[in-house]
Structure 1
């Protein structure tokens, strides 16, 4: 039979256990942060120790740990789950700003999950930049806003790069069916390593104004001379048509002889004189006279 001291200890222990249960704490478990409001408990353990329904800070915007287009808005400690528009992802550059951005600008490698896509005509998602559906169409892509598309064409010689969302050289885009050779129908001649390091130039066989630069002697990139000039395959530089016999009439019907002469020998710009100078908007103005007092 237990003595008086043992019985007293058992009563104290039982009272402590009841007090802990009434306060919402179970033995061996703490609420996050060591206190605060009691949280609802569940017999099912959380899927991940990092998962929480509490705000990291009382106010701000915070990215979801797993889904790139999901984030949380916290106001006075109250959390609200939100989604970016389909095709956009959350930019967590600052907890003070609520900003959804294009995926090209955000690293989603650590939280790769996304909401279910909502495709429309030419748009794989409602918002963003998307390549043309046809594999061999390299220079066209779609810009989609709220499910409505606008087709854009890259500048001559460039192709759409799905990794960056902009137009780049074919060798940078690395898209199947859109290599430099596929796009330009031009293959760089074989040269020595030393010659290749000079990035040799070759005339475009179909256009006197353009030429190809072979990067390291292997990858062609198409470049052009300015209006009025043609590529000289002897000097490997842009030149005037009169110096390139096979291209002397290239601009015939496009530029007159007088226009070509004016491009080759532009008139010097008149210099301002007598203290008169040109203003930003092209007008002329005389500086204000000033005087110094002794």
Structure 2
């Protein structure tokens, strides 16, 4: 029996389109004989951060590019802010911001020049210099784009996406190439967007990023939706009956279980990775305290502790496989 809860493809979204920033229904896309997206359906609520995850070749990029109006669906319904991305492109474009995988910045312009250029396309843009400061590029404002580092280019691309005060932002691998400080700053910006009611569609290969930022997560593989829920439900942290922790390998699990009054079982899943189970979710706080005390008394250092059945990355690998794809 799997240690994971049964994950079902379930979308509790309202069927009323005015509550949805994005509607995808039975979307199909093929390139010649190769089907890239096969009957994909999901909805993104207004004002939520929605993560679209999948291995390479799963159909993520094709889906996002179709939502952005760069590709045309072969079949199905695509609506973004209630509009058709291709037919209503002129109306839709001023309402969205896009961070592409390939930044496409003008190499000969400075960061400030690029942002002022894009600000000129909108009726009520943000102040470009204030936005440069917000993404941490004030010191690089006079640097030409071709001389920016990879992380700096990603931050400038984010600023370009936000300069028009969009209602919906597409973030495709937004923190790729960023150092930890810039990555954290970007996370804070995403959280600020949510607080302002801006909808964010995020694609990322960083599971902790999706876990930290997303209200809901969709996992697709081979062009099909295989899971859709909140990170908490996917990881089993809500109504959880287990703890996972990482410590020295070879602990005596029978002795461990016997020492914790709230525990019903303990086992080592793999070297240094353990699970301790209890019989009711309300026992979890006591179990955490008991485990911490036992480890302290045994002078065992705890390097990781999770409530529930595992990380989002664990679930992702279980659902999509662990092989590397081109």
Relative to its length, the structure with more helix (as a share) is 2
TM-score, normalising length from structure 1? Answer: 0.22
Between Structure 1 and Structure 2, whose CA radius of gyration is higher?
Answer: 1
**TM-score, normalised by the number of residues in structure 2:** 0.21
Which structure is richer in relative contact order (CA contacts within 8 A, separation 6 or more)? 2
